[in-house]
Chain A
Amino acid sequence: MSGSGFKVKALSWAPYIEPVDVATATEEQLAAMQVTPSNTKVSPYVRTLAHDPESYVARTKLFNAIMYAKGGLDRAERELGALTASAVNRCVYCASVHARRYVELSGRSDVVEEIYMRGLDGPFEPKVQAIVDFCRTLSETPSRVTREQAQALRDHGLSKAEIIDLIHSAAIFGWANRLMHTLGHSTPVEAK
């Protein structure tokens, strides 16, 4: 268990399509974006997805439950699931956000360094390896996920309830990556 000091740079995100303009948005879009007189600053990501407010609202609620619900799988390990999916799908923006959160929560910059410099093969310590292997196959080729991969998670002490949380964190990034990486691209953070 050690930090390596490896740092992942924060990134911004820019859409390929014109996002919703808060000034001309419909009532439903404003509600979806949670725009109020005191909150008119909305990220390009939210404004892009607000073109379809119905799906945006439902997905955001599910996303927040999966990543932040109390109890169950350690939040750091949910972030590792998210990072693994994002690495498989090459979503540079999602990977940077969730690599940073994973390090904040776990201190494991060494794991992130390994993933960034050498990829998902490892070797990682056994429990991390079990999580990465399971989430990697689930993200890449779901039909190849094996019972042995799930058993490995159990053998490293994860309960079935915790594994349900892990499945959802990897799967919701199969979703998020298919939005962020297809609808836009990462950009350097603009100097303030």
Chain B
Amino acid sequence: MDQIDILSGLKPDSEVYRARRERPEFVEGAELCRETVLAPRNGFGISHAMRAALAARMARLIGREDLARAYDLMLEEAGSDDELAAIAAAEDLSSDADAFTKALVRHADFVTRTPRDSTRADIERLEATGLTNPQIIALSELIAFVNFEARVIVGLSVLELVA
């Protein structure tokens, strides 16, 4: 059982569990993608701990506390501190947080909740804070992955409950 099976509440003998195994490219692909956005070889200066904290935060915003707790654990393993814990807990950042961190958090919140309202100004804001192009893409892929994963878990969870 992987993280998606467990958080979706799949039983090992269920039809959904077995059908999911008929799509190994989805199962392995999701885990490989997780690796590349949460624990990439090249993180472009966005630490694994920060990535885990942002992932936990986004999962909480989406309403999957169980997924958030999985990322809390990842954050603990990567080494947390007060600020990262606050990010993960979906709290407001203290006013003395640095601009770079504030920009990451704002963008993660915004693109998770209301991607439809995105404009050029949101990317310019990241650039003005000093994010490089690779950092903008890495952040965007992380945000998008967690939103994907949460939706797969939600979908599989309800599917497991129907006849």
Contacts and interface: CB of A to CB of B under 8 A. Distances in A.
B35 A58 contact: yes
Given A65-B29, A181-B116, A182-B115, A17 B123 contact: yes
B22 A179 contact: no
B143 to A, nearest CB: 6
B61 to A, nearest CB: 10
B19 A160 contact: yes
Nearest to B149: A171
Given A160-B16, A167-B152, A54 B40 contact: yes
Interface residues of B, number: 55
A142 interface: yes
B22 A88 contact: no
A73 to B, nearest CB: 11
A89 interface: yes
Contact of B32 (A58, A88, A154, A179): A58
Majority DSSP secondary structure for residues of A touching B: helix
Interface in A153-175: 154, 159-161, 163-168, 170-172, 174-175
Given A149-B158, A154-B163, A178-B115, 20 more contacts: A16-B120, A51-B136, A55-B37, A55-B138, A58-B33, A58-B35, A72-B22, A88-B116, A89-B116, A90-B116, A143-B62, A143-B63, A145-B154, A145-B158, A164-B156, A170-B155, A175-B148, A176-B144, A178-B144, A179-B141
Contacts of B158: 145-147, 149-150
Contacts of B151: 138-139, 142, 167, 170-171, 174
A162 to B, nearest CB: 9
Interface of A: 16-18, 48-49, 51-52, 54-59, 61-62, 65-66, 69, 72, 88-91, 138-139, 142-143, 145-147, 149-151, 154, 159-161, 163-168, 170-172, 174-179, 181-183, 185
A65 B100 CA distance: 35
A174 B148 contact: yes
B137 A48 contact: yes
Contact of B20 (A142, A149, A164): A164
Contact of B33 (A62, A138, A168, A183): A62
Nearest to A168: B26
Of residues B15, B19, B148, which shows the largest number of chain A Cβ atoms within 10 Å of its Cβ? B148
A69 B140 CA distance: 26
